[in-house]
Amino acid sequence: MNKMNPARLQWACRRGMLELDLLLGNFLNEAFPGLSNEDQALFIDLLEENDQDLFLWLTGKNVAEKPEVNKMIQMIRHHAENRNN
């Protein structure tokens, strides 16, 4: 997935699970604009992954094989844990 317009990114964050919708959508709306171009591209690439893998990674039940994917997963998890502080 290449750089996308905001509406397409929002649509790509809509998944088959409410938990993923919330985690990815909140991150997109609140943290994505402040990311470096490299991290934005990494987030966009992450949206290519299937829901089951994303869910396992974001809940900490599994770890992605690629270090760059784990970096983005940690950024999303950190954002979710600290967004109301």
- Check residue 3 and give its pLDDT: 61
**Tens digit of pLDDT at every position of the chain (85 positions):** 446 788 999 999 999 899 999 999 999 999 999 999 999 999 999 999 999 999 999 999 999 999 999 999 999 999 999 998 6
Answer yes or no: is 57 within a domain.
Answer: yes
Q: What is the CATH number of the domain that holds 46?
A: 1.10.150.250
- Check residue 68 and give its pLDDT: 95
Answer yes or no: is 78 within a domain.
Answer: yes
- Check residue 80 and give its pLDDT: 96
| pTM attached to this predicted model | 0.91
- Check residue 84 and give its pLDDT: 80
Answer yes or no: is 1 within a domain.
Answer: no
Residue 11 lies in domain: 6-82
Count of domains observed in the chain: 1
Q: Which residues contact 39 (CB under 8 A, 6 or more apart)?
A: 72, 75
Report how far residue 50's alpha carbon sits from residue 37's, in angstroms, rounded to the nearest whole number. Answer: 23
